[in-house]
Chain A
Amino acid sequence: MAAVSNQPTIDLREPGGWRRRKNQIATFVMYLAFVIILIPLGLVIFEVIAKGAKAISWQFLTNSTIPPNVMPLGQGGMGAAVVGTLEITGFAALIAVPLGILGAVYIGEYGGKSWLAKVVSFMADVMVGVPSIVMGLFIFTVWVIPRGLNGLSGLAGSLALACLMLPLIIRSTYEMLRLVPNHLREASYALGATKSRVTLTVVLPAALSGIVSGSLLAIARAAGETAPLLFTIGAVESTNTNLFSGATTALPAQIFTNALSPYVGAEDRAWGAALTLIAIAFILLFVARIVTARFTRYAR
């Protein structure tokens, strides 16, 4: 003890003055930013739960007849819209996910520097920025109008949502493929693997968790889109389980029409539908986390 106290004390604290002050300011600003971004996120969720929770019931989620706007809460339910959203988004995913992943594999692994790969990649970039209503109008023009009233269907909605999802999936998958280190590809080639083998057994498995979460984010985003559905699915008040024929409805479309209505019952139903939609997106992302955790077991 005595020997230690004989030595001059060394000041190991952070140097004072402006440098320490800068550090404190930067730290404070970061915490502040964190709190500020929580405000809109928190308020949106709080508001939707506060106003939508009272609408939620088993009947609300499953009853297939959406009541007229004047009816109060407790009559009918959003079952038709829940079924419509699941069907339309599901089928859109069925079209866009395989197509998007294959497209990204072409750009990333096969196309290389070819002009076709460049064109596809550039178009995907452009399409990410195209407003979703344009996708709706596009399908409306090329698919719905030629078929007249029969053109309005869940399938038309799926096509519009697939157009929306496709560039997002191509982009995110491509980025994930690029993150796969080249030395893994080389290890596989050095064992005598063909290019398709390398892609299927090394590159895609290594990128899988990113591809799955990117695709599910695109699906969740599409599930909440209103604009592409406005021109494509009609908006009926009862369940239509047939995706390929006849007008149908979906949660975003119902939120839109009910929220525009002046009646209290309709507005409550709109909040309820909004909460249902958020819950669907939440479940989807939750499932994505579990799935990716399973697939990336060996990545650590």
Chain B
Amino acid sequence: MDQPEQKIKLTLPETTVEAAEKKDDGFTGASVFEAKNVSIYYSAFRAVTDVSLTIHENEITAFIGPSGCGKTTVLRTLNRMNDLIVGARVEGDIHYRGASLYERSVSPTAVRRRIGMVFQKPNPFPKSIYDNIAYGPRINGIRNKGRLDEIVERSLRQAALWDEVKDRLNKSALGISGGQQQRLCIARTLSVEPDVILMDEPCSALDPIATGRIEDLMHEIKSRYTIVIVTHNMQQATRVSDRTAFYSVLRDDKSDTRTGVLVEYGRTAQIFEDPHDTRTQAYVTGRVG
């Protein structure tokens, strides 16, 4: 029983290498998101311009780039979180599994039930650990105590947190460490069994050990979920992701405005080892940014 599990562990770091060996025309999952010529505005300010990319099923896609390049903005348009910001507007086409995300008839609530999000700063509710996880199922109408217990345990196990908190499920979620809080937030996202998980710099507030745990966790859950992660940490992108999108800032000196653009998108190994664009090369080799 122990033997195969260990083997899986050993092969984990090689996932990116394997992915690199596959050609782009090799096996890829169905497309989950298809963005075409997407521009995102905050009132009159154009934050991101002309982004087109396809995100694939059961892959981890990383968004990298310097500050202000709009990677978080793009991420937040994928589950319509930007709707919460007054003045935010999206132009162009984003399809999620064939359905247009910004169609008038689409309910943001229904979108977010399928596409969950983990934020930069761990943001557990000021409730007990149990109630944090049970929150999502409860708003979806699950009231049965036995069913909720089951979901809480399953979600915490998936997030590799169960053993650490199983004896204090009724204690405040704010009493556990930052890394545990972030895994709790991931467990909370998993509790509603989403299709996609968006992660906005989930490790930027964490130490390397907690970061490593979350990266392991991402590898473990990726067979069942599609993950998009924004990260400032290029090593993290190489460690966890199958594909990488590099964004950059386009400055307009005349009007003194900056807008984010998608420079290059491809297999992670290709982006880091054989970038086609000089800007990508400058960034991934650490000369810029």
Contact = CB atoms under 8 A, between A and B. Distances in A.
Contacts of A112: 86
Given A201-B139, A300-B172, A300-B175, A190 B125 contact: no
A108 B164 CA distance: 38
A44 B125 CA distance: 43
B117 interface: yes
B123 A191 contact: no
A183 B114 CA distance: 20
Contact of A190 (B86, B117, B124, B131): B117
A300 B124 CA distance: 12
Interface residues of A, number: 25
A19 to B, nearest CB: 38
A194 B139 CA distance: 9
Give the interface residue-count category, chain B: 20 to 34
A298 B136 contact: no
A30 to B, nearest CB: 32
B188 A191 contact: yes
Interface in B169-215: 172-175, 185, 188-189, 192
Contacts, number: 80
B139 A299 contact: no
A189 B117 CA distance: 9
A191 B192 contact: yes
Q: Of A113, A186, A298, which is in contact with the most chain B CB atoms at under 10 Å from its CB? A: A298
A112 B79 CA distance: 22
Nearest to B84: A189
A206 B135 CA distance: 14
Interface string B100-130: 0000000011111110110101011111100
B109 A299 contact: no
Interface in B133-155: 135-136, 139-140
A184 interface: yes
B90 interface: no
A193 B119 contact: no
B165 interface: no
Contact of B126 (A186, A191, A298): A298
Contacts of B174: 298-300
Contacts of B263: none
A113 B86 contact: yes
Contact of A193 (B111, B131, B139): B139
A197 interface: yes
A187 B173 contact: no
Contacts of B32: none
Contact of B135 (A185, A186, A191, A296): A191
B136 A192 contact: yes
A192 B113 contact: yes
A185 B112 CA distance: 13
Identify the 4 closest CB pairs spanning chains A and B, nearest first: A192-B113, A190-B117, A298-B172, A183-B123
Interface of B: 79, 81, 84, 86, 108-114, 116-117, 119, 121, 123-128, 131, 135-136, 139-140, 172-175, 185, 188-189, 192
Given A187-B188, A189-B84, A192-B112, 20 more contacts: A181-B123, A186-B117, A187-B119, A187-B125, A188-B139, A190-B112, A190-B116, A190-B189, A191-B112, A191-B136, A191-B139, A192-B111, A192-B114, A193-B139, A197-B139, A205-B126, A298-B126, A298-B131, A299-B126, A300-B174
24 contacts: A112-B86, A113-B86, A184-B126, A186-B81, A186-B119, A187-B119, A187-B185, A188-B125, A189-B112, A190-B112, A190-B116, A190-B117, A190-B119, A191-B112, A191-B116, A191-B136, A191-B139, A192-B111, A197-B139, A201-B135, A205-B126, A206-B126, A297-B172, A299-B126
